[in-house]
């Protein structure tokens, strides 16, 4: 586990309500639309795609908001985004762990990371991000995902 401060970045993003059980079926068509909108707006990807989970828990049927964000560069044509937003992500303090492998094993990585957060006395917040450094498929051993669990900033007392 590594604690990190993530700087704001410019992204094209959209969001929808889903559950952990339903999201796999909903994500691919959404990403296709996002990438088409990005291209239509004259933008280019500038980094790995991010999934930003707000209010998700380990309950597979609990609804939460999933935002899919693609960092971009370029000058946007305002009418090309068709339902997506060009925006800046907020700064984000997190505990991060890199996960490699099939997506069926990612929940174990989350459990281990939440355990390390608790052992360090850190307090998670309601936001979790997955940064897809390398994506092949749900069943690929070559997936590389940085799991970022939002934590409340830790401040050193003045001396």
- pLDDT tens by residue, the chain, 159 residues: 999 999 999 999 999 999 999 998 999 999 999 999 998 888 999 999 999 999 998 899 999 999 999 999 988 776 778 889 999 999 999 999 999 999 999 999 999 999 999 999 999 999 999 999 999 999 999 999 999 999 997 665 555
pTM exceeds cut of 0.85: yes
Q: Could you tell me the residue range of the domain that residue 7 belongs to?
A: 2-151
A 10 A CB-CB count for 15 gives: 15
The residues that bridge with 65 in the sheet, in sequence order, are: 17, 54
Given 3-state DSSP classes, what are the helix, strand and coil percentages for the chain, each rounded to the nearest 5? Answer: 25, 40, 35
CB distance 16 to 26 below 8 Å: yes
Instruction: Please choose, from the candidates 6, 148, 149, the residue with its C-alpha nearest in 3D space to the C-alpha of residue 88.
Output: 6
Radius of gyration of the chain (CA): 16
CATH of the domain at 23: 3.20.80.10
Asked if the structure places residue 157 within a domain, the reply is no
Asked if the structure places residue 78 within a domain, the reply is yes
């Amino acid at each position: 586990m590594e604690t990190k401060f993530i700087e704001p970045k410019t992204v094209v993003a959209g969001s929808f309500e889903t559950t952990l059980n339903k999201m796999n079926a909903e994500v691919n068509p959404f990403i296709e639309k996002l990438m088409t909108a990005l291209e239509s707006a004259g933008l280019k990807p500038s980094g790995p795609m991010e999934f930003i989970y707000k209010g998700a828990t380990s309950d597979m049927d609990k609804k939460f908001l999933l935002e899919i964000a693609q960092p971009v560069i370029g000058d946007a044509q305002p009418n090309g985004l068709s339902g997506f937003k060009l925006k800046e992500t907020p700064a984000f303090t997190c505990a991060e762990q890199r996960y490699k492998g099939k997506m069926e094993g990612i929940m174990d990585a989350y459990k281990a990371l939440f355990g390390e957060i608790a052992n360090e006395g850190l307090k998670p917040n309601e936001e979790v991000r997955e940064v897809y450094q390398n994506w092949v498929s749900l069943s690929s051993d070559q997936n590389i995902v940085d799991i970022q669990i939002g934590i409340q900033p830790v401040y050193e007392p003045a001396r």
